[in-house]
Amino acid sequence: MPKINFITVLFLLSFCGLIAQDAQLLQWATQGAVSNEEYYEEIPFRYIDGYIFIDIVQHNKPYNFLFDTGAEATLIDRSIIDEFDYKQLGVSNISGPVIKNQGINTIVLDSIHIATLNFVNIGAVAIDLTPLKKKFCNNVYGVIGSTLLKKSNWQIDYANRIIRIATTISRFKISDTATKLPTFLPSKGWGTEAVEVSIDGIATKFEIDTGNGRSKIVAHPSQFKRLLKINKKSTVPYGFAKAPTDYRILTKKIEMGNLELLSQELDLLNDVGQHQLLGNRFFENFLVTLDWKNHFLYLEEKRAIAPNELIDFELRFAPDFQN
C-alpha cells in the first residue's frame, strides 16, 4: 500500500522492533475469528477516487475505515481507541517519510464489528492517523487490513458498490467463466497475498492491494529495467526536476491465468519501494472474490477492459488542503 508511504514504512520498522520472535508475530497476525457461526452479510461501500471506505460500528457509533487488502495490519486511530476493549502487547517508536518519531501500540482487539458480524481477538495497531486524514481530506479512523480480512471470505462488487462477507465462498455467486488464480503468502506466513502476472513475457508476482487507488498496475522501475529497454517507443518518462524518474509503459500483453489483456498501462513509480501492486483501478472491472482459506482469487469480468493509448500525459498532483 505505498500510496500511503508512511504505513508501508510503519510495518517494516515497527514489527521488527515490537515482537522479537517470528512465532509471536505470526500468532498476533493470524489469531482471531468471526464469532457468528454461519453468516452471509452484504454491506455498502463508498468508492472515492479509487479507494474503498466502509463503516465499522462501535457502541452504536459509525466510523469511516479504509478497506485495504494491502495493509498487513488493521489500524485504529488513537482518537477512538477507547471505543474498543483491547490488550496491549508492545510499544515502539517508528519514523518514516511522513511520520516522524511516533510511538505506536501493538494490540489485540477483543472485538470489532462490521454490520452484524463480530470479529474477535484481532491483531491491530493503535496509531495517530492524522497523515492519512490529510491525504483523504476526510475523517478516516482506521484501516481494515490483513489481520482482520483473513478471518472471512469477501466478495467486492464494484458495479453495485457492495461488499459481501460469508462463512464460505459457496455462499457467493461466482460464474463458471471467472478466472481462478492461486494466491501466494509471503514466506513469513502472513500478510498481503500476491498472484502471478506475466507482462510482455516477464512473469512475476503482484500483491492484491485494494488500498492502491492510483494505478491499475504499479511497480518500481528497477523491477522492469528490461521492459524499459525494449519498450522505449511506448514509454513516457515523467517527474519533477531533481527527482527520480517515473514511467508509464504501454504493455503489449498482460496475462493472469486464462485472462489476457492487451495494450494496458503499467506505472513504474519510485515511491512504491519494492512492492508490485494490482490496485482498485484494475479490480474495478471485475467482480472480485477472495478465498483466503484456500488461497484463491476469482476475477469475473463485468466490463470490458479497453486497450489504453499513450496519446499524452496528464500531470497528477496531490495538494494538501490542510496546510
pLDDT in tens, 126-165: 998 887 777 776 789 999 999 999 999 999 999 999 999 9
In a domain, 107, yes or no: yes
The answer to whether residues 113 and 248 belong to one domain is no
Tell me whether residue 186 is in a domain.
Answer: yes
- Per the structure, the count of domains in the chain is 2
Of the chain, the end-to-end C-alpha distance in Å amounts to 24
DSSP 8-state code for residue 184: B
The H-assigned helical ranges of 31-179 are 130-136, 146-149
Q: Say whether pLDDT at 232 is over 90.
A: no
Instruction: Specify whether 178 is located in the same domain as 99.
Output: no
CA distance linking residue 240 with residue 257, whole number of Å: 37
| 104 pLDDT higher than 80 | no
59 and 205 share one domain: no
Among all chains, which residue has been given the C-alpha cell 461501500?
Answer: 45
In the numeric block, which cell numbers belong to residue 20?
522479537
Asked if residue 236 has pLDDT above 60, the reply is: yes
pLDDT, one tens digit per residue, over 184-225 is 999 989 999 999 999 999 999 999 999 999 889 999 999 999
Spatial separation of the C-alpha atoms in residues 112 and 117, rounded to whole Å: 8
Q: What is the pLDDT of residues 170-191, one digit of tens each?
A: 999 999 999 999 999 999 899 9
Average pLDDT, the chain: 87
Q: What's the pLDDT at 53?
A: 97
| pLDDT surpassing 60 at residue 266 | yes
Percent of the chain with pLDDT over 90: 70
Query: Which residue, 169, 189, 205, sits at the end of a domain?
Result: 169
* Residue that wins the pLDDT comparison between 207 and 99: 207
Q: How many CA atoms lie within 13 A of 217 on its CB side?
A: 25
CATH of the domain at 264: 2.40.70.10
Domain ranges, residue 77:
2-169
